[in-house]
């Protein structure tokens, strides 16, 4: 279990330079913004702007702080806030985002679809809750303060902190401040098709 503190994450500009993001993890480690297999980051969006394009990438966006964001696709408008489920879309889709109120922060999970896949779940934690992960990698991102316990370690996470799990793990999440909330991210390798 590796602990990732939000306070330690360094803000970097978006690929298109129109916003900023803080990276939790990228694979392979140190991969550039156009050369990763998967990436988990937290972005601040405080104005209307275009999203960066990521051809070949599947993305999931989840609002973790702030008000509302509208995602304007060619054929639809999707409104996301702190209550909506994680929203999945293709990274090559052009998106114009609109911030109708206060700035938001979101969790952004991206995977190169020919090599990896991901799943993001928003989970209320109102009591001690056992969680089993059986994927290749997983992250637990605390939306509010949580206590995490495994068979051999315990750690407290402030809002925005995360843990990285490398391989199957059983853990228990418990709220520190009621009610608790977490985002559960699972990342699995996809076998390349035979030529």
Residue 84 and residue 37 share a domain? yes
Determine the pLDDT at residue 3: 96
Query: Residue 145 belongs to a domain with what CATH number?
Result: 2.60.120.10
Residue 140 and residue 60 share a domain? no
Residue 73 has pLDDT above 70, yes or no: yes
Residue 106 CB burial class (10 angstroms; 0-12, 13-18, ≥19): buried
Share of the chain above pLDDT 70, in %: 96
Residue 132 and residue 100 share a domain? no
pLDDT tens string 83-100: 999 999 999 999 999 999
Quick check: is 14 in a domain? yes
Among 87, 116, 145, identify where a domain stops: 116
Determine the pLDDT at residue 36: 94
**Residue (of 163, 164, 170, 165) closest to 147 by Cα position:** 163
Quick check: is 2 in a domain? no
pLDDT tens string 172-188: 999 997 889 999 999 99
Residue 192 banded pLDDT, cuts 50, 70, 90: low
Residue 194 has pLDDT above 60, yes or no: no
**14-23, 96-105, 182-191 — which is least confidently predicted?**
14-23
Residue 95 and residue 143 share a domain? no
pLDDT tens string 137-154: 999 999 999 999 988 889
Angle of CA points 150, 153, 159, to nearest 5°: 80
C-alpha 46: how far from chain center: 18
pLDDT tens string 30-59: 898 888 999 999 998 888 888 889 999 999
What's the whole-number mean pLDDT along residues 159-167? 94
User: Distance between CA atoms of 188 and 190, rounded to whole angstroms?
Assistant: 6
Contact 90, 54 (CB under 8 A): no
Query: Can you give the residue range of the structural domain that contains 164?
Result: 118-189
Determine the pLDDT at residue 109: 98
Residue 137 and residue 100 share a domain? no
Determine the pLDDT at residue 49: 86
In the structure encoding, which two tokens stand for residue 130, read together? 């056992």
**20-34, 112-126, 155-169 — which is least confidently predicted?**
20-34
Quick check: is 1 in a domain? no
What's the number of domains the chain is made of?
Answer: 2
Residue 32 and residue 104 share a domain? yes
């Amino acid at each position: 279990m590796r602990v990732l503190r939000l306070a330690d994450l360094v803000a970097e500009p978006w690929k298109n330079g129109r916003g900023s993001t803080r990276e939790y993890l990228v694979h392979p480690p140190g991969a550039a913004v156009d050369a990763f297999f998967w990436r988990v980051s937290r972005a601040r969006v405080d104005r209307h702007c275009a999203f960066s394009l990521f051809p070949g990438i599947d993305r999931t966006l989840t609002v973790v702080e702030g008000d509302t964001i509208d995602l304007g696709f060619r054929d639809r408008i999707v409104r996301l806030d702190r209550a909506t489920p994680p929203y999945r879309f293709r990274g090559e889709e052009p998106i114009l985002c609109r911030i109708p109120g206060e700035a938001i922060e979101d969790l952004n999970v991206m995977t190169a679809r020919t090599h990896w896949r991901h799943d993001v779940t928003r989970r209320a934690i109102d009591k001690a809750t056992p969680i089993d992960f059986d994927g290749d990698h997983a992250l637990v991102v605390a939306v509010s303060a949580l206590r995490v316990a495994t068979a051999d370690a315990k750690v407290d996470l402030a809002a925005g902190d995360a843990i990285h799990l490398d391989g199957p793990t059983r853990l228990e999440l418990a709220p520190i401040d009621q009610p608790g909330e977490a985002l559960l991210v699972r990342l699995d390798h996809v076998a390349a098709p035979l030529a």
